Amino acid sequence: MRRFDGQTALITGASSGIGEASAWRLAREGARVVLAARGRERLEALAGRMREAGHEAEAVPTDVGDLGALAGLVARAVELGGGLDLLVNNAGVNHRGELERIAPEQLAQIVQVNLAAPIVLTRLALPHLRARRGAVVNVASLAGRIPVVHEATYSATKFGLRAFTFALAEELREAGVRVTVVSPGPVDTGFFDGHLEEVPDLVFSQPMSTADEIAELVIECAADGRVERMRPRLGGYLATLGYLLPSLRRVLLPTLERKGRAAKARYIASRRGAS
């Protein structure tokens, strides 16, 4: 028997990257997947490909940054699936740069999409998840373990998402609802496209993962309820150690930035070579 036979999963940010990879993995494990993202054409094309492959998939185009649209999204997912077993809060956005150079509406978007939307969606989904003793998987970042320069607001939302996860996991333990978080380092998706030069060197100091590798962590968290998984694991522990011991972070930071600078240059060269 497959791990998610007969279950319904709602995935945000599902049209590409980690969200798309998670949708495919869940579908192969027997889940009915409800796909949410802003881009209607791309989302419906993905749902069509999944149905052609023999999976149950439905597209519900939604901008999760519009908090007023989230009740309708949850209601539609429940209608399509006859209930809800899994919520994957994966949608994310970032605007990099010095804080004073980022427009207020862009800052608001980061907070709305990365933190407010997962909180509100989880709140709306909880009655249905309680009924089926389901699960929530939040996709955060190693930037939620150590702040990244020029990504202050993004880091703040990921710290917040991890804190929300840990607190709610305890709150819902007796209810049987699993609340977990995946914290990846850099992932080779379209998230960096168009602004690679702006990405801080430190981000590339950790090995690059694939979307499919992170999707596997999403599946594992949904299945066993382990509160957090990281990739790379060592990078997560080092990030936490550096955060707890600022003096150590200051010593390590120049070395990590040099390592990241070299890795970033190789990554940019490989992307240009592939284009």
User: Which residues are marked as active site?
Assistant: 154
Amino acid letter, 164: F
Can you tell me the distance from the alpha carbon of 224 to that of 229, in angstroms, rounded to the nearest whole number? 11
At residue 155, the 3 state secondary structure works out as: helix
Beta bridge partners of 182: 139, 229
> Which CA distances in Å does 220 have to 115, 139, 169, 186, 235?
22, 13, 16, 19, 20
Cβ neighbours, 10 Å, residue 156: 18
- Residues in contact with 201: Cβ distance below 8 Å, sequence separation at least 6, in sequence order: 257, 258, 260, 261, 264
Strands, E assignment, the chain: 8-12, 32-36, 57-59, 86-89, 135-139, 178-184, 228-231
Can you tell me the distance from the alpha carbon of 185 to that of 162, in angstroms, rounded to the nearest whole number? 14
Can you tell me the distance from the alpha carbon of 208 to that of 102, in angstroms, rounded to the nearest whole number? 27
**Mutual orientation of helices 152-171 and 104-111 as an angle, nearest 10°?**
20
